[in-house]
């Protein structure tokens, strides 16, 4: 997809990867960039800086995702590219409280479901469209220290795969963004953590990788190319891979405060 003259929606656009995507799409000549985030002041500032449109949106609520899509199509135009980017981190394992599990599930998974539910039929009716879903390398590998994050990001990748194989013949293209550590609010203060083992990227190169993938209509977006090697190793010898991850887990626990 060529982004020039396209109408694009980006959730989680007030900061981090979302902000970088919105800025990059504007540079590519998108006709309209709709910036959505629950941080109204932050997303308004981003939209004003790029000549876009700001929408306060809590993606953990289906009605707000639906309203974002309906208002965009009514007031800006038909959505060509929907970037379901907002996400959160919750640490811990099965002991994490139910409210935390539900909140991360709604934001990291169901927000993608609701976006697809309400925008894909519109896209199919007019001949096609594009979805860019932000997941994580944790969705292809795992996340030491956070079962909720690992589980929801695996689910996000699984949903993106399903959307691609189910709607591809109807003109729906899908890319899924799976970086390792990126310098955002989520990773602030964790620059030496396990996730940053292959280096922490700034947001601009991540946005650049997304633009290239969209231009090539490529499913996997891997700003950290090492992830592909890790995926291959995992597939070749699952038990050995788990052994390596156990070592990483011990390393993480040794560094964690008591």
Q: Return the structure tokens found at 85.
A: 């980017």
Coil, helix or strand for 49?
helix
State how far Cα 11 lies from the chain centre. Answer: 9
List 221's β-bridge partners, or say none: 177
Tokens 């639906």 — which residue?
A: 66
Check: CB of residue 199 under 8 Å from CB of residue 242. Answer: no
Catalytic residue among 130, 149, 167, 230: 149
Q: Is position 130 annotated as part of the catalytic site? A: no
**What is residue 176's three-state secondary structure?**
strand
For residue 94, which phi and psi values (nearest 5 degrees)?
-60, -20
H/E stretch holding 115 reads helix 111-125
66/199 Cα distance (integer angstroms): 37
List the catalytic residues: 149
């Amino acid at each position: 997809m060529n982004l020039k003259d396209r109408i694009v929606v980006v959730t989680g656009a007030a900061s981090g990867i979302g902000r970088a995507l919105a800025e990059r799409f504007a540079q590519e000549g998108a006709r309209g960039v709709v910036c959505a985030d629950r941080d109204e002041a932050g997303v308004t500032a981003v939209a004003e800086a790029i000549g876009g449109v700001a929408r306060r949106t809590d993606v953990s609520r289906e009605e707000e995702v639906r309203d974002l899509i309906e208002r965009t199509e009514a007031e800006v135009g038909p959505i060509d590219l929907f970037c379901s980017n907002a996400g959160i981190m919750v640490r811990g394992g099965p002991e994490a409280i139910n409210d935390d599990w539900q909140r991360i599930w709604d934001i990291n998974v169901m927000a993608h479901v609701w976006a697809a539910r309400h925008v894909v039929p519109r896209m199919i009716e007019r001949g096609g469209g594009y979805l860019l879903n932000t997941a994580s390398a944790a969705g292809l590998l795992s996340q030491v220290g956070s079962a909720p994050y690992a589980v929801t990001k695996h689910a996000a990748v699984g949903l993106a795969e399903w959307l691609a194989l189910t709607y591809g013949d109807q003109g729906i293209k899908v890319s899924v963004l799976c970086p390792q550590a990126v310098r955002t609010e989520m990773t602030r203060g964790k620059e030496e953590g396990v996730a940053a083992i292959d280096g922490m990227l700034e947001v601009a190169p991540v946005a650049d990788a997304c633009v290239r993938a969209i231009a090539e209509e490529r499913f996997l977006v891997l700003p950290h190319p090492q992830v592909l090697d890790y995926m291959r190793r995992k597939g070749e010898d699952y038990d050995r891979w788990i052994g390596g991850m156990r070592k990483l887990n011990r390393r993480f626990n040794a560094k964690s405060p008591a």
